[in-house]
Amino acid sequence: MSERDGRFGFAPEHDAPIPYMQRIRDYYQALGYGAAYRWAHYAEVSFQPLQKPLAECRVALITTAAPYQPGKGDQGPGAPYNAAAKFYTVYSGDTAIDHDLRISHVAIDRAHTTAEDSNTWFPLPQLRRCAAAGLIGEVAPRFHGAPTNRSHRTTIERDCPELLARCCADGADAAILVAN
Amino acid sequence: MCHQTVSLAARHLEANGIASIVLGCAKDIAEHCGVPRFLFSDFPLGNAAGRPKDPASQAFTLELALRVLETAPVARTTVQSPLRWSADPSWKLDYSNIDRLSPEETRRRREEFDRQKEIAKTVRDEPATK
């Protein structure tokens, strides 16, 4: 720590949000892959204010986690990256019951977390509690699983419309989407 | 990919009348895509809904997300959770940091990446079951 940092109480330079896009770009270039990935990027963003108080809203939950699949290799806790556990179509599940969802198929931070507690990526129990406490009107009848795909075309033209259709069919007013 | 996927989904829902909030740990990816509302937890990827084995942290995170969902004034509202992963921020230097990998480890990771890509391709090409 420099004298100035100590004097003014500055945080270390690296104590800032991780620049993932740059890290990932440098990483794959060093591994020997060619053109850098083009991340989705928009200048315009839609905004839909809630049409009624949240305490009256039906709220959907969308996750990138995958159902545990016996026979598809180590899915954690502590599993290395496991592409065999990936899924490529939108799926849904009943929010009234508990589910065993895992995140071994996505690039979580395996050095610093172990995926031992699904409540850190799939807050369905917490959402039910919020409904019981009256913070939201109710939990939508189904949660939805979103495939993570490098292909923008697949995500934008196939999976996003499917997620919307399912949320609409469930009468959702709002959605909580949890990334991994 | 995860953050990009949910960001694109949030945008699509929002454009079609469903208010959305993204919970995530990769601030740059979500904001580069552009989402209506974003709750950023400065935690290792995999903990967007709170700290492991810490129900109070998980409850706080979701309740904060609900407040942002209800009160965000405009699109691109990002709120950073005040929770800290660790008093020592050095964990942030590790993720996919090529400067911290030996040439041998870099080679091993390339082989593993190619192997996993082939597995993923096999899964993708299987007939859908759901």
- Tokens 């409904």 found at: A131
Residue from B7, B13, B29 to probe the interface with A (highest A Cβ count within 10 Å)? B13
Phi then psi for residue B110, to 5 deg, are -65, -45
pLDDT band (50, 70, 90) for residue A1 = low
Q: H/E/C letters for each residue in chain B? A: CHHHHHHHHHHHHHHCCCEEEEEECCHHHHHHHCCCEEEECCCCCCCCCCCCCCHHHHHHHHHHHHHHHHHCCCCCEEEECCCCCCCCHHHHHCCCCHHHCCHHHHHHHHHHHHHHHHHHHHHHHCCCCC
Give CA–CA dist B77/B34, Å, rounded. Answer: 10
Q: How close B24 gets to chain A, by Cα (Å)?
A: 5
pLDDT band (50, 70, 90) for residue A5 = confident
Give CA–CA dist A67/A55, Å, rounded. Answer: 30
pLDDT per position as a tens digit, B86-125:
999 999 999 999 999 999 999 999 999 999 999 999 998 8
Check if A13 contacts B (Cβ < 8 Å).
no
Q: Is the dihedral of CA B114, B118, B123, B124 positive or negative?
A: positive
Sorted by sequence, the CB contacts under 8 Å of residue A35 that are 6+ apart come out as: none
Q: Which of A111, A148, A175 sits opposite B1 (nearest CB)?
A: A148
Q: Do B124 and A88 touch (CB under 8 A)?
A: yes
Q: How close B20 gets to chain A, by Cα (Å)?
A: 5
Q: What is the pLDDT of residue B130?
A: 43
Give CA–CA dist A163/A148, Å, rounded. Answer: 13
- The residue type of A169 is A
Residue A40, Cα to own-chain centre: how many angstroms?
16
How far, in Å, are A53, A120, B71, B85 from residue A113 at the CA level? 36, 10, 31, 10
Check if B39 contacts A (Cβ < 8 Å).
no
Q: Do A121 and B40 touch (CB under 8 A)?
A: no
Check if B78 contacts A (Cβ < 8 Å).
no
Averaged pLDDT for residues A37-59: 97
- With beta carbons under 8 A apart, name residues in chain B contacting A12: 89
Give CA–CA dist A28/A24, Å, rounded. Answer: 6
Q: Do B93 and A16 touch (CB under 8 A)?
A: no
pLDDT per position as a tens digit, B30-85:
999 999 999 999 999 999 999 999 999 999 999 999 999 999 999 999 999 999 99
pTM to 2 decimals? 0.95
Residue A90, Cα to own-chain centre: how many angstroms?
14
